[in-house]
Structure formats: C-alpha cells, structure tokens
Amino acid sequence: MKKKMISMMLCAAMTAAMLAGCGGNNAADTSAPAAEDGAGEETPEAEAPEAEAPAEENTEAEDASAAPADGTLVMATNAYFEPYEYYEGDQVVGIDVEMAQAVADKLGMELKVEDMEFDSIIPAINSGKANIGVAGMTVTEDRLKNVDFTNPYTTATQVIIVQEGSEITGEADLTGKTVGVQLGTTGDIYVSDMDGVTVEQYNKGMDAVQALTTGKIDAVVIDNEPAKQFVSKAEGLKILEEEFVTEEYAIAIAKGNEELLGKINTALDELTADGTLQAIIDKYITAE
C-alpha cells in the first residue's frame, strides 16, 4: 500500500494556497459550490444544539472583546466529526473533548466547548474568542502561519469513500470524477489540488457522505476514523484500502501564547505518560 507522508500534504496545502492566491482554475472551480452549500444548509442544524445555551448564540459574530474569562479554557471545535467530537443529545462528546477536559483539569481551568464551522476555528482563536482549537485538526504548514500547534496527540489518514459497486479503486481513478470533502479540511485542500477532479465542498462530512449515497457525487475524501463512523451509518458505502496521506492532529493555539502552549504540552506529556490519553482514545476507537 502506498502511503504518502505529511510532507506531501504540506506541499499540497501550499500549492493549493498558491493556486487560490493566483486565481488558478482548481481553486476557482471549487469556491463556487462552497457558497451554495454553505449558508442555506448549515444555519438551522448548527443552531439547534446550541439552544441549551441561549446566551452564547451570537458568539460567532463577536470580536476580541469577547475574550474568554480568566480560568475558562474555551475550545473551538466542529462537532460533526465522530469519534473526535460529536453530539450526544445536546452535549458535545468525543476524544477531543475528553482530552481537552483532562488538559483543563491539569491547568485548573474550566472547559467550555464552542461548536462552529470548521473554517471558523482558526479565526476564533485569532480573535481571542477561543483559547484552543481541538477538532481533529491536522498540522499543516499553511495553518502554522496563522496559529501555533501543540505536540501532536494522534496520527490519522485521509481515505476515499465510494459506493460499494464503484469502479473507483484508488486515487488514480478519481480523475474525471466529482469528489466531496468537508470545506476547509486537508481533504479539501488535497483534492482541490488534483488535476481533472471536480471538488464539491460541504460544511459537514456527513453531508458529503449523504451526497455520495444518493449518487450526486462519486467519492468522498475524509479522515479515516470519521469515515468509518459515516460509512457504518450509511447504506451501500465502503472505504478504499488505499490511504491518501498520513497526518498528525494537534491542538491549535494563538501565535505567541508561549505560556499556554507550554502548559498544554506539559499536560499532554503527562496524559501520554500515565496512559490517560490512550485510554480516552481506546474508549472511542476499537483497535482492529
């Protein structure tokens, strides 16, 4: 099996960014569906789970003046990414949430989870609205220009999901096809950079998977663990064995916040050394 390493991903990310900057074809093609898929679908679903916290309803519109209170560690995430973060009733649970809770405990802080669009997470950190971004977020060169990352807490891969009878057996077969991704993710960056592939961007991974189920698109590229969850909940889909890219997830923090970065890295080291982190992962992911 062919496995490309993270450096490939970084190259792809940088190339995609350059294309976007130059108004290259790929980037121009892909920006259109995002706008369509975005506004209309997201709002009603995204607001429903927040009903339990009416005071927070407008937080996304707030600016740096809404900086988190002392003693509160605000975690920005996108809670449609099981098993890392997802809703159980009106509560956001998952590996990232439990890990962040364990970190907050070590720091003597109270954890507050803010659910938002994936591509709002880095802006939320930079505006001071959130202290940390924990969202199965892959470390990329591009993101490192805007935020710092802690030491990685897990590795992941991008995989391809197709319909069971699909003629697509690997990355090479995606040429001429329409591929769904979650907007702003590494899967999006990677597929957007592929020649001859049409990208459809969705606000949630599950929306892409649904489009695949109905035959609207030919494949979905997404992180391996959420892919397993989505496929298990859908009919007639499978994950191809070929893995696209190996990545590392880490916690994002505002640039220059060395103190918090140091404290969280120490907490992560301790949680790794005493087995807590692995226990949290094992609770959500069954080893194969």
Distance in Å, CB of 90 to ligand ARG, minimum: 18
186 near ligand ARG, rule: CB under 6 A: yes
| Alpha carbon 156 to chain centroid, angstroms | 11
Helices first, then strands: H and E counts in the chain: 10, 13
243 near ligand ARG, rule: CB under 6 A: no
Alpha-carbon distance of 147 to 266, in angstroms, equals 19
**Residue from 223, 243, 251, 267 in contact with ligand ARG (CB under 6 A):** 223
**Residue from 150, 185, 210, 246 in contact with ligand ARG (CB under 6 A):** 185
81 near ligand ARG, rule: CB under 6 A: yes
Per-residue contact string for residues 47-76; x = within reach of ligand ARG by CB under 6 A:
------------------------------
For CA atoms 145, 148, 151, 154, the dihedral sign is negative
Query: Whose Cβ is closer to ligand ARG: residue 135's or residue 267's?
Result: 135
Query: Whose Cβ is closer to ligand ARG: residue 141's or residue 270's?
Result: 141
Per-residue contact string for residues 124-143; x = within reach of ligand ARG by CB under 6 A:
-----------xxxx-----
Number of residues that bind ligand ARG (CB under 6 A): 15
Backbone angles phi, psi at 222, to 5 degrees: -160, 170
Alpha-carbon distance of 206 to 69, in angstroms, equals 33
Convert 168-193 to b/e letters by CB count within 10 Å (16 or more is b): beebebbeebbbbbbbbbbbbbbbbb
Partners of 275 in the β-ladder? none
Query: Whose Cβ is closer to ligand ARG: residue 26's or residue 78's?
Result: 78
Residue 115 host element (H or E): strand 110-115
Query: Whose Cβ is closer to ligand ARG: residue 207's or residue 223's?
Result: 223
Binding residues vs ligand ARG (CB under 6 A) = 77-78, 80-81, 85, 118, 135-138, 182, 185-186, 223, 247
